[in-house]
Amino acid sequence: MNIYHLTQNKILKDIADNLSWYNKENSYFIICLTKEIKLLQPIFNFDICTDGRYLNIDENIRFDSFENYDFISLNSFHFLDNKIFFEEINLYIGVNYIILVGEPKSSIVYEIEKYIAQKLNMINTPSHELNRIYFWIFDRLLSHFFSSLELLEDRLQTLESNIIKNLEQKQFVEINSIREQINQLKKYLRPLLYIGDQILVNENGFIKPNHTKYFKNIDIRMNKLYDYLLSLKEMGDQLLYLYESVLTSQTNDIVTRLTILTIFFGPLNIITGIYGMNFKYMPGIEWKYGYPTVIIFMLILTILIYFIFKRKKWL
């Protein structure tokens, strides 16, 4: 657990079990694990449904306003080896504190802490910057979301190029995998629109009037993020149509070639079929030059068919 004592502009470590560090007159930014929330419970008196005992990773994004604090629960995500992984993060926002809660080895919590620490180092009086920290958390989180979706877009574009160049069965499996991931992201990100609206409602009045403009920007970016995801879903659907179109085109090309081969060998089969019948008296059956004449005729017929197809650009 890292406790940023904003009023004294210093970091307090490993003192969560000593409650003497807290003073209502001071401001704090706290980063901890879910299991550590119970250490802060005697200070902040969180509601039973948000005190850490019932928090787990699920698809539910929450924004609850209690008497003395707001509670926000949402899921971050990242891609590793083309697989999607989710991390739950929780926020407690009070009049003089913000608590960011994550799981062990959470990459997004580490990223947010590093980002905010850099910002705080540039400020002389961080005790007045709780609203900015609130904004910075969502600013960094949304930037991370957009970067992750850009990676997904790159995969779709690369896959599209590969399909056009060389169609393979494994591409169909990858398309369906990406579309499944996009649908899963929709389920997780759609409630973000509700979070943005609830932040602007500002029921507990934690956001100062002169800082409202920053959170309007957050709300707009949440809507843009969801629109971006919908555009990726459309790209995934179009990619499936492209795969099916290329597959159909290749199938039609094979059928066309087989049809052409059938046309080539059709007349030859007729000729050989006629001369293969068991009749004693047939024209030219005993002619000395009958066999080579038929062979030459069949060759001329084949060449003639070839030039006709070539002229009509069927070959």
Q: Do 213 and 294 belong to one domain?
A: no
Global pTM value:
0.76
The tens digit of pLDDT for each residue in 209-222 reads 888 888 899 889 99
Can you read off the two tokens belonging to residue 27? Answer: 């401001």
Range in 14-28, 62-76, 146-160 the model is least confident about:
14-28
Cβ contact 240:163 at 8 Å: no
Q: Do 28 and 149 belong to one domain?
A: yes
Can you read off the two tokens belonging to residue 160? Answer: 């599209």
Q: Do 281 and 181 belong to one domain?
A: no
Confidence of residue 281 (pLDDT cuts 50, 70, 90): low
pLDDT at 16 over 70: no
Selected residue with higher pLDDT from 151 and 14: 151
Q: Give 29: exposed, middle or buried? Use CB within 10 Å, 0-12, 13-18, 19+.
A: buried
Q: Do 109 and 157 belong to one domain?
A: yes
Q: Do 226 and 259 belong to one domain?
A: no
Range of the structural domain that residue 166 is part of: 2-248
Q: Do 82 and 61 belong to one domain?
A: yes
Calpha distance 176→156 (Å, rounded): 11
Selected residue with higher pLDDT from 155 and 127: 155
The radius of gyration of the chain's CA atoms, rounded to the nearest angstrom, is 35
Highest average pLDDT, of 61-70, 132-141, 183-192, comes from 132-141
Q: Do 211 and 280 belong to one domain?
A: no
Confidence of residue 80 (pLDDT cuts 50, 70, 90): confident
Ramachandran class of 205: left when φ > 0, alpha when ψ lies in -120 to 50, beta otherwise: left
Residue that is last in its domain, among 227, 248, 269: 248
Calpha distance 26→7 (Å, rounded): 6
The CATH number assigned to the domain holding 286 equals 1.20.58.340
Query: What is the amino acid identity at position 28?
Result: Y
Q: Do 83 and 196 belong to one domain?
A: yes
Q: Do 56 and 194 belong to one domain?
A: yes
Calpha distance 289→215 (Å, rounded): 97
Calpha distance 159→171 (Å, rounded): 7
The CATH number assigned to the domain holding 144 equals 3.30.460.20
Residue that is last in its domain, among 248, 268, 296: 248
Calpha distance 43→40 (Å, rounded): 5
- Residues 4, 8, 10, 14: what is their CA dihedral angle, to the nearest 10 degrees? -60
Residue that is last in its domain, among 231, 248, 265: 248
Q: How many residues does the chain have?
A: 315
Q: Do 86 and 199 belong to one domain?
A: yes
Predicted local distance difference test score (pLDDT) of residue 234: 92
Domain count, the chain: 2
Confidence of residue 225 (pLDDT cuts 50, 70, 90): very high
What is the DSSP secondary-structure string of 5-43?
ETTTTEEEES-TT-GGG--TTS-EEEEEEGGGHHHHHHH
pLDDT at 270 over 80: no
Can you read off the two tokens belonging to residue 217? Answer: 């920007």
Confidence of residue 60 (pLDDT cuts 50, 70, 90): low
pLDDT at 177 over 70: yes
Q: Do 287 and 154 belong to one domain?
A: no
Q: Do 59 and 173 belong to one domain?
A: yes
